[in-house]
Each structure stands twice: as C-alpha cells, then as structure tokens.
Amino acid sequence: MSSAATALIWWIVPAMGLIGGLGYVLWVSKFQGKYQQGTQRSVSQFQRFQDSLRDSQARDAGTSSSQDSSTQSADKNNPENNRELGSPNSDSETLQ
C-alpha cells in the first residue's frame, strides 16, 4: 500500500470518529429530550387505551354474570325446568 493511501486512512478514520462523536453529543444535548417526551407521551396513551379495555371487559363480565344469575332465577321459577328426571309430567312422554 502506498504512503498516500495510508496517510488518507489515518486522516479519514479519526475524522469520521470525531464527526460521529460530535453528532452524538449534539443529539444527546438537543434532541434526546424531545424524543423521550414523545415516546413517553405515546406510552402513556397506550397505557390509557389498555386500561380502558380492561375496564370495559370487567364491566362486560359483571353485566354478563348478573344476566346469568337473573336467567337462572327465572329458570327456577319455570315449572318445566324444575321437573325431576324420575317423575315426568302426565302430558309429556316417559323417558326410555
């Protein structure tokens, strides 16, 4: 390898490292706070969305369990549902 190419490598590698370091310092000092605030805002909105889904599922589960209990109590009042297997009604067929 020629001495010119070697000298070019020895100048380019440190220059690229210096530019990268300065870019990182600039990003940390200027843009990282804005980036984190935007990310935090998005995470907060997503958590509120998840909480609303949990609340609606809990509300739906509570509603369905109260409907189930009201249906069961209505079924207990129906004489057709209170029939025992061993004693069929006179108007229904006997069990085989």
How confident is the chain (96 residues) per 10-residue block, as mean pLDDT? 84 93 89 77 88 88 69 56 52 51
> Which of the 8 DSSP states describes residue 29?
I
CA angle 64, 67, 71 (to 5 degrees): 135
Write the CB contacts of 85 (distance below 8 Å, at least 6 apart in sequence): 95
Residue 47 lies in a domain: yes
pLDDT for 66: 64
pLDDT for 89: 53
pLDDT for 63: 79
Residue 69 lies in a domain: no
pLDDT for 71: 56
| Cα end-to-end distance, the chain, whole Å | 102
Residue 56 lies in a domain: yes
Q: What is the dihedral angle through the alpha carbons of 65, 73, 85, 87, rounded to the nearest 10 degrees?
A: 180
CA distance 54 to 31: 35
Residue 90 phi/psi, 5-degree rounding, is -70, -30
Residue 52 lies in a domain: yes
Residue 55 lies in a domain: yes
pLDDT for 18: 96
Structural domain tally of the chain? 1
The range of the structural domain enclosing residue 56 comes to 6-61
pLDDT for 36: 75
